[in-house]
Amino acid sequence: PGPYVPSTIASALIAADDPDAKILAELAAGETVAAFALESDLTASRQGDTIVIRGEARSVPAATQASVLVLPVNIESGIEWAVLDADSLEILPLRSVDPLRPVAHVRANGVEIGADRLLSGVSQAAGRAIATALLSAEAVGVARWATDTASEYAKIREQFGRPIGQFQAIKHKCAEMIAVTERATAAVWDAARALADAADNDWDERTHYEFAAAVAATLAPAAAQRCAQDCIQVHGGIGFTWEHDTNVYYRRTLGLVAAFGRRSEYPQRVFDTAATTGMRALDIDLDPDTEKLRCEI
């Protein structure tokens, strides 16, 4: 519980712009809590050396607990990430599906900041890749907990005189859970490596960090949701009770899936980045015999 992951993602965005930023020490020590959003309706205009921000960011995780928020704003040059003080914003708490991670709408009514509060060294694509890779890592953690918990329970819960893990339906379900978890885990590791390489090379697009992060965001939340649901099924009636931890993890999964935004965007981003960055030369057409898409690399 607590705003650890949102604060970590906000810290990673700030660090990508300036690894020596003073606020990072406070964030690392837990003295300052930060929050983030992947999308917003915030707009910014320049008035001399001052930037004026107006608009709203909806359903921001941990906004009520944070003193600093890192939010995307639409400015003349495009989308940039801005570091805003919570005291200057209107924060409207909402009822969250995950009680351990509250959300809130955030409004800015003519908030003024200096140009140094913009993370100009982090593009919109780089910021999204960082945030989604870290969200994917949390999703993998949920999937692995659900897989381990379900398999352990299947060994000790007996029905019809033997452990339920000996029944084929439960055995196959647990095997599928570990398969999707391992696949998502590999994708998150690839995204982490690509982001590290990109940071070392001043966010050179040839490191393909956008592709790797999009693959992780395609696989990880789906794995978390499937494994959390299957974990409840393996536990049977007890899995549906509030008293069991399966509910805690399932609710975290629902909040995580929502935090990623529209799920269909990520497979499309995988294809777009593969086809346009020179990483893959794709020849895709319709196979006349099977009427299915055929892809040659």
Q: Pick the residue with more confidence: 206 or 69?
A: 69
Average of pLDDT values for 56-62? 94
Average of pLDDT values for 155-184? 90
- Would the pTM count as exceeding 0.95? no
For residue 76, the one-letter residue type is: E
Q: What pLDDT shows up at residue 239?
A: 79
**Which residue reads 């959003």 in tokens?**
37
Say if residue 78's pLDDT is above 50: yes
Relative to beta strand 34-36, strand 68-75 is parallel
Q: What is the pLDDT confidence band of residue 206, given thresholds at 50, 70 and 90?
A: low
**Is the separation of the CB atoms in 261 and 38 below 8 Å?**
yes
Average of pLDDT values for 44-73? 93
Summarised one tens digit per residue, pLDDT across range 212-251 is 999 999 999 999 999 999 999 999 888 788 888 999 999 9
Choose from 137-151, 166-180, 236-250, 262-276 the range with maximum mean pLDDT: 137-151
- CA 97/CA 252 separation, integer angstroms: 8
Say if residue 201's pLDDT is above 70: yes
Q: What pLDDT shows up at residue 295?
A: 46
122-127's contacts with Cβ under 8 Å and 24+ in sequence apart are 122/13, 122/16, 122/17, 122/80, 122/81, 122/203, 123/203, 124/72, 124/78, 124/79, 124/80, 124/81, 125/210, 126/16, 126/198, 126/203, 126/209, 127/13, 127/16, 127/72, 127/81
Q: What pLDDT shows up at residue 205?
A: 67
Summarised one tens digit per residue, pLDDT across range 108-161 is 999 999 989 999 888 988 999 999 999 999 999 999 999 999 999 999 887 888
Say if residue 293's pLDDT is above 50: no
Say if residue 281's pLDDT is above 90: no
DSSP reduced 3-state for 18: coil
If phi over 0 gives left and psi between -120 and 50 gives alpha, with beta otherwise, what is residue 203?
left
Q: What pLDDT shows up at residue 204?
A: 72
The rounded radius of gyration (Å) of the Cα atoms in the chain is 21
DSSP reduced 3-state for 14: helix
**Is the separation of the CB atoms in 279 and 268 below 8 Å?**
no
Beta-strand ranges (E) seen in the chain are 34-36, 43-47, 50-61, 68-75, 78-85, 90-93, 103-114, 158-159, 162-163, 283-286, 293-296
Q: What is the pLDDT confidence band of residue 296, given thresholds at 50, 70 and 90?
A: very low
The whole-chain average pLDDT of the chain stands at 89
Say if residue 282's pLDDT is above 70: no
Number of helical (H) and strand (E) elements in the chain, helices listed first: 7, 11
Beta-strand ranges (E) seen in 129-177 are 158-159, 162-163
Average of pLDDT values for 260-272? 85
Q: What pLDDT shows up at residue 178?
A: 96
Say if residue 11's pLDDT is above 80: yes
Q: What pLDDT shows up at residue 273?
A: 82
Q: What pLDDT shows up at residue 199?
A: 87
Q: Concatenate the DSSP letters of all residues of 172-235 into one string.
A: HHHHHHHHHHHHHHHHHHHHHHHHHHHHHTTS-GGG-HHHHHHHHHHHHHHHHHHHHHHHHHHH
Average of pLDDT values for 52-57? 95
Average of pLDDT values for 67-93? 93
